[in-house]
């Protein structure tokens, strides 16, 4: 009975290459792979037009995810186990400033162990999420876009 509640792996921060393949299926997209010195970029062109890039380190873990396009991807999916940390930080921001929920400003969550940036407007969204402690040596944040 407990097995019925088990979800298949989805691509997300901290996931592996199998999770990227599952994400490609969920997004109904095509995938291209580009090898860099310290990591591999898996770019998924979703059927919706949104492009999701997942950065896979040499040790096989997704250390960053970016997206750009007309629609927001499922944030819970791309953040995976980090979604709760993001959600808690976002709730704290709104509690401190109730207008933050309605503001048309980018969302920035900069917590120990997680950085998330989401911005844009309908038909033009962009975002980036990464785990600072998982960045491969020598990788600059400017490379994650």
Please report whether residue 144 resides in a domain: no
Q: Are 132 and 116 in contact (CB under 8 A)?
A: no
- Rounded mean pLDDT, 114-131: 93
- Rounded mean pLDDT, 52-71: 94
Q: Are 88 and 79 in contact (CB under 8 A)?
A: no
Residue 119 confidence (pLDDT): 92
Q: Please give the span between the terminal C-alpha atoms of the chain, in angstroms, as a whole number.
A: 42
Please report whether residue 143 resides in a domain: no
In percent, how much of the chain has pLDDT > 70?
A: 89
Measured over the CA atoms of residue 47, residue 48, residue 49 and residue 51, the dihedral's sign is negative
Domain of 75 in residue numbering reads as 8-135
pTM of the model: 0.84
Please report whether residue 3 resides in a domain: no
How many domains is the chain built from?
1
Residue 101 confidence (pLDDT): 64
Band (pLDDT 50/70/90 cuts) for residue 27 is confident
Please report whether residue 13 resides in a domain: yes
Please report whether residue 61 resides in a domain: yes
Residue 29 confidence (pLDDT): 80
Chain segment 14-25, per-residue pLDDT in tens: 888 877 777 777
- Rounded mean pLDDT, 52-77: 92
Please report whether residue 1 resides in a domain: no
Please report whether residue 55 resides in a domain: yes
Chain segment 83-106, per-residue pLDDT in tens: 999 999 998 888 888 776 666 778
Please give the Cα distance from 39 to 1 (Å, whole number). 39
Please give the Cα distance from 141 to 143 (Å, whole number). 5
Please report whether residue 2 resides in a domain: no
- Rounded mean pLDDT, 115-126: 92
Residue 5 confidence (pLDDT): 36
């Amino acid at each position: 009975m407990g097995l019925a509640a088990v979800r298949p792996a989805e691509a997300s921060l901290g996931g592996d290459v199998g999770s990227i393949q599952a994400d490609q299926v969920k997004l109904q997209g095509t995938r291209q792979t580009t090898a860099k010195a310290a990591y591999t970029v898996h770019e998924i062109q979703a059927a919706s037009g949104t492009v999701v890039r997942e950065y896979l380190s040499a040790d096989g873990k997704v250390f960053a995810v970016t997206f750009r396009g007309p629609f927001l991807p499922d944030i819970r999916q791309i953040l995976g186990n980090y979604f709760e940390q993001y959600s808690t930080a976002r709730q704290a921001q709104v509690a401190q400033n109730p207008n933050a929920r309605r503001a048309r400003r980018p969302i920035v969550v900069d917590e120990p162990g997680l950085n998330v940036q989401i911005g844009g407007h309908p038909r033009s969204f962009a975002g980036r999420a990464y785990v600072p402690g998982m960045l491969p040596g020598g990788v600059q944040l400017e490379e994650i876009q």
